[in-house]
Chains A and B, each alone.
Chain A
Amino acid sequence: MIKILLFAHLQEKAGSDQLTIDKEQTTIRDLKNILKETYQLIELDQVMTAVNEEYVMDDEIAKAGDTVAFIPPVSGG
């Protein structure tokens, strides 16, 4: 099970701030594709990803037990 965290417009569109995907492992790219199909989150092409609170690239692998957060362009300050 991989835990997914969604923020800002992504969580509004998905209707939830947290999802789980029942997989042993997947690349971030594949994970984005699954979520794009399941939740129509086309915006995932433009967001960054953090695995366990560290920024990663799309070819990184997430494993069961990891927390994957999709980080839209930030606007703090």
Chain B
Amino acid sequence: MNELFEIVEEPIEVEAVIKKVERREAGAITTFIGTVREWTRGRRTVYLKYQAYVPMAVKMLAKIGEEINEKWPNTEVAISHRIGHLDISDIAVVIAVSSPHRKAAYEANEYAIERIKQIVPIWKKEHWEDGETWIGDQLEKVPYPNGKPDVKDEKHD
């Protein structure tokens, strides 16, 4: 598998994701690794399950890549998100961005994770010590105030 944007069921190899964005013009590669946290506001997670609408999730990850290329020209982005059963400290998502200079790589990488939490159809089910919950609306905003996620087809701010 060498796609830049993928949903996988097996553990993600961080180095492999980084390799995808390596190139001679890059002077920086930033890597974000999202891992499974044990404690959330005093509540203990035992494990998580992620579910995705896989074909659409891949499309939306690619869309985030396109948005980044427009906002930060000459960046290369790769995103792998894992689904299925994940234990504490397992890697759920890896985002790698390369750019000629470091600032764009940092900014674009943060943008990518924020957008994942807005538009990519992936859901997390927390299995707590004392129950289970599907998690939604992690950004703690009203879900879709405009009736749909801000998918930004043409204009990018």
List chain A positions with a Cβ less than 8 A from chain B. Answer: 5, 7-9, 12, 46, 48, 50, 53, 55-58, 69, 71-77
Contacts and interface: CB of A to CB of B under 8 A. Distances in A.
Interface in B45-65: 50-53, 55-57, 59
A76 B112 CA distance: 12
Contacts of A12: 134
B56 A7 contact: no
Interface residues of B, number: 34
Interface of B: 34, 50-53, 55-57, 59, 81, 92-93, 113, 116-125, 134-138, 143-144, 147-149, 151
Contact of B121 (A57, A69, A77): A69
Contacts of A53: 53, 55-56, 59
A69 B50 CA distance: 17
A8 B134 contact: yes
B149 A55 contact: yes
A72 B56 contact: no
Given A56-B148, A75-B124, 6 more contacts: A48-B144, A53-B55, A73-B144, A75-B123, A77-B93, A77-B117
